[in-house]
Amino acid sequence: MKEAAKHNKFSSNSSKPLAAEVVLGEVPILKEPRLLNKWVVWLEQRPNEGGRTTVLIRPWGCSQFPGQELTPAPIDVRTRVHSYGGGALATFAEGDELLFAWIDDSDSCLWTQSWKPLLNPVKDKGLWIETSQSPICLSRKSNYALADGLIDPLRKRWIGVMEKDEVDFLVSFALNKEFQHPVLIYCPEDFIGYAALSPNGSQLVWVEWQQPSMPWESSQLWLGSFNNSGEIKKKTLIAGSSADNQGFISVFQPIWMPQGELVVSEDRSGWWNLMITGPNIDIDSVVSWRRLWSMKAETAMPQWVYGMSTTSSAGENIATSTCVNGSWQINILGRGGSISTFEQPYDDLQGMSADKNRILAIASNPLHESGLLEIDLNLGNWTHKLLRESILDKSQISVPESLWFEGFGGQKTHAWYYPPANWNGLAAPLLVKSHSGPTGMAGRGLNLSIQYWTSRGWGVVDVNYGGSSGFGRSYRERLRGRWGEVDVFDCSAAAKSLVASGKADSKLLAIEGGSAGGFTTLACLCFTDLFRVGACRYGVSDLISMAKETHRFEMGYLDYLVGTWPDQVEKYQGRSPLNHAERIECPVIFFQGLKDMVVLPAQTERMADALREKDIPVEVHTFTEEGHGFRNANSKIKVLELTEKFFRKHLGL
Residues 187/530, Cβ–Cβ less than 8 Å = no
Q: Is residue 351 part of a domain?
A: no
> Any idea what DSSP says for residue 258?
T
- pLDDT of 13 higher than 70: no
- pLDDT of 373 higher than 90: yes
Q: In angstroms, rounded to a whole number, what is the distance separating the alpha carbons of residues 125 and 347?
A: 32
The closest alpha carbon to 353, from 102, 89, 50, belongs to 89
- pLDDT of 297 higher than 80: yes
> How confident is the prediction for the chain on average, in pLDDT?
94
Q: Is residue 134 part of a domain?
A: yes
Q: Is residue 62 part of a domain?
A: yes
Mean pLDDT score, 481-507: 98
Q: Can you tell me whether residue 31 is helix, strand or coil?
A: strand
Q: Point out the least confidently predicted range of 7-21, 376-390, 413-427.
A: 7-21
Q: What are phi and psi of 174, to 5 degrees?
A: -65, 145
Residues 93/100, Cβ–Cβ less than 8 Å = no
Q: Is residue 99 part of a domain?
A: yes
Largest CA distance in the chain: 73
Q: Is residue 613 part of a domain?
A: yes
Q: Is residue 635 part of a domain?
A: yes
Residues 221/262, Cβ–Cβ less than 8 Å = no
Range of the domain at 160: 28-187
> Any idea what DSSP says for residue 12?
G
The closest alpha carbon to 349, from 309, 314, 381, 315, belongs to 309
Give the pLDDT band of residue 48 (cuts 50, 70, 90): confident
pLDDT digits (tens, 9 = 90+) for 551-582: 899 999 999 999 999 999 999 999 999 999 99
Q: Which of 153, 187, 221 is the last residue of a domain?
A: 187
Residues 603/536, Cβ–Cβ less than 8 Å = no
Q: What is the DSSP string of 543-606?
A: HHHHHHHS-GGGTTHHHHHT-STTTTHHHHHHH-GGGGGGG--S-EEEEEETT-SSS-HHHHHH
Domain count, the chain: 2
Give the pLDDT band of residue 388 (cuts 50, 70, 90): confident
| pLDDT on residue 26 | 76
> Any idea what DSSP says for residue 352?
E
Mean pLDDT score, 45-55: 93
Residues 171/130, Cβ–Cβ less than 8 Å = no
Q: Is residue 432 part of a domain?
A: yes
Give the pLDDT band of residue 4 (cuts 50, 70, 90): very low
> What is the pTM for the complete model shown?
0.93
Mean pLDDT score, 70-90: 97
Q: Which of 187, 215, 249 is the last residue of a domain?
A: 187
- pLDDT of 2 higher than 50: no
| Backbone region of residue 72 per phi and psi (left: phi > 0; alpha: psi in -120 to 50; beta: other values) | beta
Q: In angstroms, rounded to a whole number, what is the distance separating the alpha carbons of residues 133 and 121?
A: 19
Mean pLDDT score, 506-525: 97
Q: What is the DSSP string of 268-312?
A: TTSS-EEEEE-SS--TTS---EEES---SSBS----SSBT--SEE
The closest alpha carbon to 272, from 245, 256, 294, belongs to 294
Read off the CATH number of the domain in which 524 is found.
3.40.50.1820
| pLDDT on residue 597 | 86
Q: Is residue 84 part of a domain?
A: yes
Q: Which of 187, 209, 235 is the last residue of a domain?
A: 187
pLDDT digits (tens, 9 = 90+) for 167-203: 999 999 999 999 999 999 999 999 999 999 999 999 9
